[in-house]
Amino acid sequence: MKTGMIDTSRIEAMMVQLKAAATRPEGVDTTLAVGKGVGKVDFADALKSSLDQVNNVQQQSEQLGQRFAAGDDKVNLSDVMISMQKANISFQATIQVRNKLISAYHEIMNMQI
Each residue's pLDDT, cut to its tens digit, for the chain (113 residues) gives 444 556 677 777 767 777 777 676 655 554 444 445 556 778 888 889 999 999 999 999 999 999 999 999 999 999 999 999 999 999 999 999 999 999 999 999 998 87
The residue segments making up the domain with residue 20 are 2-109
Alpha helices in 2-110 (DSSP H): 8-23, 43-69, 77-109
CA–CA separation, 37 vs 26, rounded Å? 23
Closest CA to 54 of 28, 82, 19: 28
CA–CA separation, 91 vs 95, rounded Å?
6
Phi, psi of 102 (to 5 degrees): -65, -40
**Number of domains observed in the structure of the chain:** 1
